[in-house]
Chain A
Amino acid sequence: MAGVSVLLVAQALALLSLLVGLVIFSLALYGYRRNDSRAMLALGCGIAMLTVVSTIATILAARLFGGRLAPVGSEAAELVGMCLILYAIVLARRE
């Protein structure tokens, strides 16, 4: 019973971080459109990879493989996300 409620809390938290990630992602995209800043585009995509894409990859892996497979997809998404944020820092310096 305790296991189930902990799982529920974890799922609720994951959903919440997904939502906050979406808000930050859309703010970054809006900033990119308004100010024509490519750094913001890279930052937004990076945050999207870290939150939305990574969570979706985790859910998909759980659905398809039932946790039998190492979380390669979400780890890869997070790596790409961090690289994008690093690139956004470099771009912000240059622009």
Chain B
Amino acid sequence: MADDPAAVFALLDDEYARSLLAATSHEPMTAPALSDECEMSLSTVYRRLEALEAVGLVDAEVVPDPDGDHRKRYEAQLDELLVSLDDGSFDVSLRTKSTTAEFADAFTDLWEGL
């Protein structure tokens, strides 16, 4: 992840990559579903997902399909991104949703669901 800050910046600058991140932040989605939802071609989706996966912004899991066709489902791994400049070099660190954050969200949902 922290190997190549420039790759992360480039992806976040990319409109397609950003919409893929946003779409997969709620629930894991397959590439064809993302292609439909984000209105972009399947090859664009695959290209961006590959780049996003390479820097760790997106994680893929293989879900067994009843048809025997194993599909990958992608999920955004980004909750907060910290960019630091120290001693002449940029560093990015990714913060994924923590257990504490999940508890806090559950507590909020519980209370607001009153």
Contacts and interface: CB of A to CB of B under 8 A. Distances in A.
Interface of A: 27-28, 30-32, 34-35, 37, 39-40, 43, 88-89, 92-93, 95
Q: Is the interface of A mostly helix, strand, loop or mixed?
A: helix
A9 B70 CA distance: 59
A38 to B, nearest CB: 11
B100 interface: yes
Contact of A30 (B104, B111, B112, B114): B104
Interface of B: 100-101, 103-105, 107-108, 111-112, 114
13 contacts: A30-B104, A34-B101, A35-B105, A35-B108, A37-B108, A37-B111, A40-B107, A40-B111, A43-B111, A88-B111, A92-B111, A92-B114, A95-B112
A93 B114 contact: yes
Given A35-B105, A39-B111, 11 more contacts: A27-B100, A27-B107, A30-B101, A30-B104, A31-B105, A34-B101, A34-B108, A35-B108, A37-B112, A40-B107, A92-B111
A37 B107 CA distance: 11
Nearest to B106: A31
Contacts of A89: 114
Contacts of A32: 108
A31 B102 CA distance: 9
Given A27-B107, A31-B107, A40-B107, A92 B101 contact: no
